[in-house]
Amino acid sequence: MGFSSLCRRFLFVASISLTFVGAAKAETILIMFDALGCPYCELWKEQIGPIYPKTPEAQIAPLVTINIHDPLPEGITLNSAPVYTPTFVLVHNGVEVSRIPGYPGEDFFWGLLDRMLNQLEEETTEGRT
């Protein structure tokens, strides 16, 4: 990850932390739908997997991995079934907020995840979820 990406992530996380104050922490998860033999899933697990649990994003949305062919856990509602692996779905209070279909690489992943968390913040602030 480049220096400018790191700075953007720090500023984003600082702003989220100040406004979010953990409001969505317990009710929010990031689901990664994967499949055996998926090369992009393996790439994500190699590039992001080891660091994700240590990030502020993981404090807001802990990662839950589900095989794309397995049934959804009870209480989870998605807008549609995932088609690609990996697909990352941000879920708040059991309802899909947004998703990233596929893995576009490390720098794009963090930027897209930041957008998803911003959307969650807006919806939580407005009281929609």
The Cα 54–Cα 46 span in angstroms is 15
- Note the Cα 59 to chain centre separation in Å: 11
Question: Which of 30, 83, 74 lies closest to 52, judged by CA?
Answer: 30
The Cα 9–Cα 31 span in angstroms is 20
What pLDDT is attached to residue 124? 81
All structural domains of the chain: 3-125 (3.40.30.10)
The residue with greater pLDDT, 121 or 44, is 44
pLDDT over 60 (residue 3) = no
The Cα 44–Cα 38 span in angstroms is 10
What pLDDT is attached to residue 107? 92
Q: What tokens does 88 get?
A: 């990352």
Contacts of 2 (CB under 8 A, 6+ apart): 107
Q: Tens of pLDDT along 54-97?
A: 999 999 999 999 999 999 999 999 999 999 999 999 999 999 99
Mean pLDDT in the chain?
84
- Going by pLDDT thresholds of 50, 70 and 90, the confidence category of residue 51 is very high
Q: What are phi and psi of 83, to 5 degrees?
A: -110, -40
Q: Please write down the HEC assignment for all residues of 36-101.
A: CCCHHHHHHHHHCCCCHHHCHHHHHCCEEEEECCCCCCCCCECCCCCCCCCEEEEEECCEEEEEEE
